[in-house]
Structure 1
Amino acid sequence: MITKQERQRIQTEFQEKMDYDELLNCMRCGFCLPSCPTYIESGYDEAHSPRGRIALMKAVVDGDIEPDDDVKRSLDMCLGCRACEPVCPSGVNYGHLLEQARDIIYQNHDLSATTKAIRNIAFKGLFPNQGRMRTMTGLLGFYQRSGLQKAARLTGIMKILPDNLATMEKVLPEVPSLKQLKNRPDHLPSLVPQKKKAAFFSGCLMDSMFMSTNDATMKLLQYAGCEIVIPDSQACCGALHGHSGEKQQAKELAKRNIIAFEDTGADYIITNAGGCGAFLHDYDHLLKDDPAWAERGKDFAAKIKDISSVLVELGFDELPLQLPDQVVTYQDSCHLKNVQKTFLEPRQLLHAIDGVQYVEMNDADRCCGSAGIYNIVESEMSMQILDYKMKQVETTQAKTIATANPGCLLQMKLGIEREGLSDTIRAVHIVDLLLEAYEYTRQPVGS
C-alpha cells in the first residue's frame, strides 16, 4: 500500500518531471480504445485504457487526485504494447509517459523486502551481467539434460507452480551448454560478395536461452552480404529496467551500449528481438536531457534496424527460398510494429517462401500478452489476452506461427501447449524459419 508520505513524494515528482505538454496532447477522442487489449479484456474499464491512464496522470499532476494504489494498479496493468500510438491523431507518446510515471512511483514507493530483493537480483545483479546470464542459462541447460527435468515432471513437483508457470517450463527452448554459451564470435565475414557492414546486438536472453536463433540471424546476414561485428562489451538493452520503473539503470546500460557500438564503423546495428529493438531505437529519447549523451544517443538510435528490414533491403527475399507445403501465419511483435514501424517486411519475407501459404491472422498486431515479465506478474490478464489470440490462430488453420520477439515466441508456444495443439502447430522465430527455407533449397537431391 502506498503511504501518505509516499503519495506526497510521488505527487511532487509527477508535477516536476511529467511532460505536461504531452499529457495535454491527449484529446480524449477515444481512437485508442479499440486498440487497447487491457481496456477490452477488463470489460471496457476506462481506468485500463490509454486515455484513462493519461487522465489519471494528469489528475495527479493537477492535484485533483492522489497517486494511490488504484492509480498504481492502473499503470501496472498496462502491457506497454504502445498500440495506442499509431492510431492516435495527436501523436501522443504514450509509452514515454508510462515509463516516466512508473519510474516515479517505483522510486518513491517502499517495496516489501522480498520484492526489493527480487528486483535487485534481476535488475542489478542478473540482466546487466552477461556472464551471470550465461551461468544461469547454463544451469537451465544442465537441468534439461541431466535428467532433473524428467524427474521433476514424473514426481509431479511442477504442480506446486501456478498453471501458467508450470506450462511455461514445458515450452522453454533446449539451451546450449555453458561451454557453448561462452564460445561466441566477435566477427564474421560475408559469405557472398559484401554489400554492407553490420553490427549485431546479440542481447542477453537472445544470446543465452535463444542462442540458436542468434546464430541463425548471423547466418542470414552473411548470406545476404553482410560482414558482421559483434562487440563483446555490449550489455542488456535496458528495456525491462525502463518498463519496470528503473529508468536510471536503463540509462546506464544505454551508455554502455553506445560506447560498445559507436566505433564499429557499421552501416546498421541489427536486432532480432522486437522489444529490445524498440528500446534501443528510443535511446535518443532516453538520453535527451543529458547534454553529454543526447547526440550520441541519437546517432546510435538512427542505426537500429530489425533483421527483417535489412534482409528485404538487401534483396534476401529474391533468393531461392522453399519449405514443404504448409500454412503459415504471423504474430506481430508489438514494439517492432508500433515503435520501429516494421510491419510489411516480415510478411514480404514469408510470402517469398515457395511452399508457404501465408494466411493473415485477425488482429495479428494485437498484443499476445507476453510483454516482458507481464505474463508472470499479471498472469490472469495475460492468459485472457492469450486465449483470444489462440482463437485467432485457430481460424487461420496455420501449422506454423512465426513471430519476431522471444517473449512473443514463448507466449505463442505457451498458448499452443495450453490448447493441446503441440502435435499439430509449431511456433518459430521468423529468422529460424527463413534459415530453414534458405537451406532447404540447397539440400543435396534425394537427401
Structure 2
Amino acid sequence: MITTTKSKEIQQQFQERMDYNELLNCMRCGFCLPSCPTYIETGGQEKYSPRGRIAIMKAITDGILDADEEVEHSLDLCLGCRACEPVCPSGVKYGQLLEEARDILQEHKKQSLPVQALRKSVFHGLFPHQNRMETVTGLIGLYRRSGLSKIARKIGFIDLFPESMATMEKVLPEIPTRKEIKQRPRFFEHEGEKKATVALFAGCLMDTMFFKTNQATITLLQKAGCDVVIPENQLCCGALHGHSGEMKKAIEMAKQNIEAFEQANADYIITNAGGCGAFLIEYHHILKDDPVWAERAQSFVSKLKDISAILVDLHFHETHILRLPEQTITYQDSCHLRNVMHTFKEPRILLQGIKGIHFKEMEGADTCCGSAGVYNIVESKMAMQILDHKMEKVKDTNATTIVTANPGCLLEMKLGIERNNQSNRMRAVHIADLLLEALAN
C-alpha cells in the first residue's frame, strides 16, 4: 500500500523522472482503446486504458491526483503488452512511461516483511544468478521425473494452489538435468557455407526450463550457415525487474550483458524469446543518460535480431525442405516481439514455408494471451478472462497446433488447451521446435 504521507515525495519523483513531453504527446484521441485488452475486458473503463493511465500519470505529476491504491491498481492491471504503441498516431512511448511510473511507485510502496523478503529473493537472489536458476529449475525437473508431481496431484496437494497455478504445473516442459546444461559447449560450428557469426542470448528460463528450445535454435542457426557463440557471464535480460519496479537492478544486469556480448564480437545477437528481446532492444533507452554506457548499449541493440528474423534474412525457408504431416497450424504473436521488436511477418513466412500444413491466421492473433511475464500469477482473474477469450479465437481456426515465439506465451497457450480439455487434439509449440521438427521430417 502507498501511504498518503508519501504523496508529495511521489509527485516530486514524477516531476523529476517522468518524460513530461511524452505525457503531453498523448492527444487523447482514443485510437489505443480498441487495442487495449484491459480496457475491453473491463467494459470500457477509462482508467484501465492507455489513454486513461497516461492521464493518471500526468495528474500525479501536476499534483492534481494522489498516488493511492486505486492508481496503483490501474497501473498494475496493465499487461504491458504495448499493443497501444503501433496504433498511436503520435507515437507515444507508453511502455517506457509505464515502467518509469511503476518504478517510482515501487520505491515508495510500504510492503509487509514477507513481501519484501519474497521480492528480494526473486529479484536479487534468484534471477540475476544463472547457477541458482539452474538449481531451482533442476529441482522442478527432479520433482516431475521422480513421480512426485503425480503423488502431489493424487493426494490433493496441488489443489491448495489457485487453479491457474495448479494447471500450469501440469504443462511445464521436460526439464534437463543440471549436468546436461553444464556439459553444453559454448561454440557451435556452421554447416555448409558460412554466412555469419551470431551470439545467442540464452536467457534465464530459456536456458533452463526451455533448454531444448535453445538447442533447437542453435541447430537451426548452424544449418542456416552460422557459427554460434554462447557468451559466458551473460545474465537474465532484466525484463521482469524492469516491469516490476526494480529498474536499478535491471540496469545493473544490462551492463553485464552488454559487456559479455562485446567480448563475443559477433555479427548479430540472437534471441528466441519475444519478452526478452523487447527489453534487450531498449537497453539504449534505460542507459541513455549514462555517458559511459549509452554508446555501448546502442551498439548492442543494433545487432539484436529474433531467430525468425535472421532465418528469413538468410533464406532458410528457401534453401531447406520443411515438411510436416498434414495439420492446421495457427500463430499467436508475442506482444513484445510484434509491438516492440516489430517482428511479425517473419514467423508467418517461415510457417507458410512448411509443406503439408495449412496455415490459418487467427483473428486477434496480435492481441495478448494473458501471460505477460508473471501477470498470470499476480493478476490471475484478468489473465484467465483474457485467455478464455483467446481460446475461443483459437477454436475458430480449427487448428491442432498453436505456434508461439515466447516461453510465457507458450505456457499460457498450453494452459488454455488444458483449461478447455483439448490436450487430446491440440498442442502448443515454440516456433524453433516446430521448424526443427519440420526439418527432420
| Distance in 1 of aligned mates of 2:375 and 2:426 | 24
Deviations 1:88-139 (Å, cap 9, x if unpaired)? 0000000000000000000111211111111111100000000000000110
Q: What amino acid is aligned across from residue 321 of structure 1 in structure 2?
A: L
| Distance in 1 of aligned mates of 2:104 and 2:210 | 33
Determine if the alignment matches structure 1 residue 355 to structure 2 residue 327.
no
Task: Tell me, yes or no, if the aligned pair for 2:11 and 2:62 is still in contact at 8 Å.
Answer: no
Spell out the pairing of 1:5-404 with structure 2 (5 A cutoff): 5-318=5-318, 319-404=320-405
| Distance in 2 of aligned mates of 1:317 and 1:115 | 48
Q: What amino acid is aligned across from residue 201 of structure 1 in structure 2?
A: F
| Distance in 2 of aligned mates of 1:49 and 1:405 | 25
The aligned counterpart of 1:445 is: none
Deviations 1:181-226 (Å, cap 9, x if unpaired)? 2222211100221100100000000000000000000000000000
Count residues with an aligned counterpart.
Answer: 440
SS in 2 for 1:215: helix
SS in 2 for 1:324: strand
| Distance in 2 of aligned mates of 1:93 and 1:386 | 26
Q: 1:5 Cα deviation (Å)?
A: 2.0
SS in 2 for 1:325: strand
SS in 2 for 1:262: helix
Given the two structures, how large is their TM-score scaled by the length of structure 1? 0.98
Deviations 1:284-320 (Å, cap 9, x if unpaired)? 0010011110111111011110000000000111121
Deviates more, 1:333-342 or 1:186-195: 186-195
Deviations 1:333-365 (Å, cap 9, x if unpaired)? 000000000010000000000001000000001
The aligned counterpart of 1:406 is: 407
| Distance in 2 of aligned mates of 1:24 and 1:111 | 32
Q: 1:37 Cα deviation (Å)?
A: 0.1
Task: Tell me, yes or no, if the aligned pair for 2:278 and 2:337 is still in contact at 8 Å.
Answer: yes
Q: What amino acid is aligned across from residue 337 of structure 1 in structure 2?
A: R
Deviations 1:133-154 (Å, cap 9, x if unpaired)? 0000110111011121111111
Q: What amino acid is aligned across from residue 216 of structure 2 in structure 1?
A: A
Task: Tell me, yes or no, if the aligned pair for 2:239 and 2:279 is still in contact at 8 Å.
Answer: yes
| Distance in 2 of aligned mates of 1:192 and 1:263 | 26
Q: What amino acid is aligned across from residue 438 of structure 1 in structure 2?
A: L
**Cα root mean square deviation, aligned:** 0.7
The aligned counterpart of 2:437 is: 436
| Distance in 2 of aligned mates of 1:8 and 1:61 | 10
| Distance in 1 of aligned mates of 2:132 and 2:5 | 37
Give me the identity figure in percent.
Answer: 62
Q: 1:266 Cα deviation (Å)?
A: 0.8
| Distance in 2 of aligned mates of 1:145 and 1:349 | 34
SS in 1 for 2:131: helix
SS in 2 for 1:402: strand
Which 4+ runs in 1 deviate beyond 3 A?
A: none
Q: What amino acid is aligned across from residue 84 of structure 1 in structure 2?
A: C
Q: 1:263 Cα deviation (Å)?
A: 2.6
| Distance in 1 of aligned mates of 2:6 and 2:326 | 59
| Distance in 2 of aligned mates of 1:391 and 1:192 | 44
Query: What runs of 5+ residues in structure 2 fail to find an aligned partner?
Result: none
Q: 1:42 Cα deviation (Å)?
A: 0.8
Determine if the alignment matches structure 1 residue 425 to structure 2 residue 426.
yes
Task: Tell me, yes or no, if the aligned pair for 1:81 and 1:371 is still in contact at 8 Å.
Answer: yes
| Distance in 2 of aligned mates of 1:110 and 1:3 | 7
SS in 1 for 2:269: strand
Task: Tell me, yes or no, if the aligned pair for 1:327 and 1:358 is still in contact at 8 Å.
Answer: yes
SS in 2 for 1:348: helix
Given the two structures, how large is their TM-score scaled by the length of structure 2? 0.99
The aligned counterpart of 1:443 is: none
Query: What runs of 5+ residues in structure 1 fail to find an aligned partner?
Result: 441-447
